[in-house]
Amino acid sequence: MKSYLAAAIQMTSVPNLEKNLAQAEELIDLAVRQGSELVGLPENFPFLGEEVEKLAQAKTIAQESQNFLQKMAQRYQITILGGGFPVPAQQNNKVYNTALLIDSNGQVINQYRKVHLFDVNLPDGNTYQESSTVMAGEEIPPVYSYPDLGRIGISVCYDVRFPEFYRQMSEKGLDVIFVPAAFTAFTGKDHWQVLLQARAIENTSYVIAPAQTGTHYARRQTHGHAMIIDPWGVILADAGEKPGIAIAEINSSRLEQVRRQMPSLQHRVFG
């Protein structure tokens, strides 16, 4: 792989597909003008609203989102991750929370259906029951090896709390981990950064974490702080709390250096 610039986009998505795609396009354009070749959009980038609304519009959201991602990839000649959007399942009137990685030719090169669903009652009074509308995926996505960009793995949001998920990917070789998210404001302040750093350090990989931020509807608030983290756990870029982008270099020499200094993956005893 070569060294290149990557961007983690941060959005405040709302229950309006057109507005969200317009916001995403502006931020993609900004990232490309600053030299980014690999761009990630957060979970729920095309729609963040009530579950009933999401289900009602799921077919349209799925079609428009994939078309949008392919158009952006071809127009800007980038590889782009759409970090999670509803794609109708064939049963139970549910959807898959689906992330797509698309190359500069507009081809889908990796697809991942979110495995770990966020069913949690938080102390701040918010209750999340993702499984009420979402079917869990059943497979860890293949690690896609791109000649220039390295070996790229995909996860989505709540997955970041399950280190074994990433360890299985790292056994196949892993240079860059995507963690697109809509992390809650309540948990994000304590856990977002440290979990991302842990996943980067233990897998000696770069982490690119696009994020949602701010208030989206009703009481739904997200943490922000889209980040790019290096294999030593150093935060290279942080988008803060407003919509924007975090941009940093994915440096092949740095990756090799860290793996020489800390060859922990070679020292594993179990698993």
68 membership: H or E segment, kind and range: helix 51-76
Q: Please report where in the chains the tokens 């079609």 appear, as a residue.
A: 63
CB 187 within 8 A of CB 196: no
Q: Which domains does the chain possess?
A: 4-267 (3.60.110.10)
- Please write the tens of the pLDDT for every residue from 9-22: 999 999 999 999 99
Beta bridge partners of 112: 99
Strands, E assignment, the chain: 4-11, 36-41, 79-88, 95-102, 108-113, 119-121, 127-129, 134-135, 144-146, 150-154, 176-178, 206-209, 211-217, 220-223, 227-229, 235-238, 244-250
The residues with which 36 forms a beta bridge, in sequence order, are 5
Please identify every residue annotated as catalytic. Answer: 43, 114, 157
Q: What percent of the chain has pLDDT over 70?
A: 100
Which tens digits make up the pLDDT trace of 176-187? Answer: 999 999 999 999
| pTM reported for the whole predicted model | 0.97
Mean pLDDT within 138-146? 92
What pLDDT is attached to residue 140?
93
